Structure 1
Amino acid sequence: MAKRGAWEIFKNYVGFRKECLPKGGYGIHSPFVFDLYTNVIGINKSEPIFKAIEAYRKEMIKSDIGIIRKTIAENMNGGFRGELVKLKKLASVVAVPPHLGRLLYRLANHFKPKVMLELGTSVGISSLYIALANPEGYLYTIEGDEAVLGIAQKRFESFNVKNIKPICSTFETELPRLMDEVDKFDFVFIDGDHNGNKLLQYFDVIQNKLTDNSVVIVDDIRWSSDMEDSWNELIAKPEVTVSIDLFRCGILFFRGGIAKQHFKLRYGPY
């Protein structure tokens, strides 16, 4: 499904703003979500590591270096094998923006997940936010472009990060293999493939490894109507007890003993 144009995104955002609750946590009647929003999602506290990660992004944005994509699947992360792509594009367009990186950091720092999964490493900015937030956890991150993953791996080494396992593979190939290797996933960040049907397929694969305490973050839920439709299918699933729509991304929880609720909340620039 094609990416939405600027006008369509704007109209979608106007609809979101009409339905979402105001910043500050007003109107959130779930104690769990109120605490999460006011103490984790909605805060604007800076951490020393944020500066270091964003310095890495700025370094690439200023660079004029290009790399030749070595994708192992068709159209992974919006590019094809043999295509020349500039590092500045990967850092400014493909990688998660700073506000989403900070959200991933705070969520991982708050929940302290032991086993984490990321679908879509890109140049490793999101991976660093997740892994450095929770050094006691272990992050599996999958990327389908060997050249791009190589850039990320070098940066992981320079940051001396020991709790990331980068995997060069397709999601379809690697996810079933990981199901045999891990007992559970406490924290999952789904990015890197803006296809609504694939999103549902990936969720179906990992679902049996999710627990009551697992957290799943889905990026670009409004990238296309196809992605938004699939997001709506996910939040309707009976095992999803709490879902939070932050416009760009969404968060899913599976906690027992909580009445099924869905929230549209403001975060970052939205």
Structure 2
Amino acid sequence: MYNYLKQRFKHAIRFRHKRGYGVHSPFVFDLITNVIKEKAEYYDFARIEAMGNVREKERKLYRLIFRLADYFSFREVLCVGVENPWVSRYLAAVSKQMNVLNGGHDCPGAEYTGRVTPAEMKGREIDLLFLGRAFEADWHESWEEVLRERKKGPLCVVIKDIYKGRFNSLVWRQLRQEGTVSIDMMWYGIVFFDERLQKGRYNMII
């Protein structure tokens, strides 16, 4: 608990990119203004959220993932360590061509295209990797190898609870060290692997 509160305090001090101020990268400025801070109510949001109660913090994250996939035309998505069906429902609504794969345990009610193992993902390109709260239970060396291949990019990784769990925090720090562009959003983090981008680290909250 002490470490978590310390990280929140540090994040508040460094929190300076809320509306893109101080951002010199055109890519990140565009990302903040047109994706992260976008407030448009997509038609599918109401339909999806009518299926049940989604906590506000969770809803913000899943809507953001929807906007990321929509804006960048992500079509190959892998989810690992997801405990509820919501993120798959938002992602499935992005496009009829969307391929949402589950690399973890079964999740009743989820709208995945299929379930895959690391062996089945060998050499397969993915656009977006979502690491949920419980991904430690599904994570092992085989997934590390899959991720290592995709770190050549382009790849976007979204990881949840980057300060709440020891394992999640460790993976987040490693990804942030190796990635091209990273955005620390306190509750979750985003990392882009893409050699065409200007390297940078940013902190903000939506």
Verify: 1:49 aligned to 2:10, yes or no: no
1:214 maps to 155
Verify: 1:183 aligned to 2:183, yes or no: no
Change (3 A) 1:129 1:203: farther
Q: 1:33 aligns with which of 5, 23, 28?
A: 28
Aligned alpha-carbon RMSD (Å)? 2.8
Q: Aligned equivalents of 2:32 and 2:140: distance in 1?
A: 25
Give the letter for the 2:42 counterpart: E
2:70 maps to 109
Change (3 A) 1:53 1:204: same
Whether the 8 Å contact between 2:35 and 2:68 is mirrored in structure 1 is: yes
Q: Aligned equivalents of 1:217 and 1:201: distance in 2?
A: 19
Whether the 8 Å contact between 1:114 and 1:136 is mirrored in structure 2 is: yes
User: Is the radius of gyration larger for structure 1 or structure 2?
Assistant: 1
- Higher mean alpha-carbon deviation, 130-139 vs 225-234, is at 225-234
Give the letter for the 1:234 counterpart: L
Whether the 8 Å contact between 1:199 and 1:230 is mirrored in structure 2 is: no
Give the letter for the 1:106 counterpart: R
Q: Aligned equivalents of 1:11 and 1:31: distance in 2?
A: 31
Whether the 8 Å contact between 2:118 and 2:142 is mirrored in structure 1 is: no
Deviation at 1:258, TM superposition (A): 2.8
Q: Aligned equivalents of 1:115 and 1:231: distance in 2?
A: 22
SS class of match (1:250)? strand
Q: 1:229 aligns with which of 143, 160, 170?
A: 170
Whether the 8 Å contact between 1:187 and 1:214 is mirrored in structure 2 is: yes
TM-score by structure 1 length?
0.67
Q: Aligned equivalents of 1:20 and 1:201: distance in 2?
A: 36
Which structure 2 segments of 5+ residues have no match? Answer: none
Whether the 8 Å contact between 1:186 and 1:210 is mirrored in structure 2 is: no
Whether the 8 Å contact between 1:200 and 1:230 is mirrored in structure 2 is: no
SS class of match (2:50)? helix
Q: Aligned equivalents of 1:257 and 1:176: distance in 2?
A: 29
Deviation at 1:230, TM superposition (A): 2.7
Change (3 A) 1:121 1:235: closer
Whether the 8 Å contact between 1:101 and 1:126 is mirrored in structure 2 is: yes
Verify: 1:119 aligned to 2:58, yes or no: no
Verify: 1:165 aligned to 2:113, yes or no: yes
Count residues in correspondence. Answer: 206
Amino-acid identity (%)? 25
Change (3 A) 1:175 1:246: same
Whether the 8 Å contact between 2:17 and 2:23 is mirrored in structure 1 is: no
TM-score by structure 2 length?
0.86
Verify: 1:241 aligned to 2:180, yes or no: yes
Could you list the structure 1 runs, at least 4 aligned residues long, displaced by more than 4 angstroms after superposition.
Answer: 198-201
SS class of match (2:38)? coil
Bigger fraction of residues in helix: 1
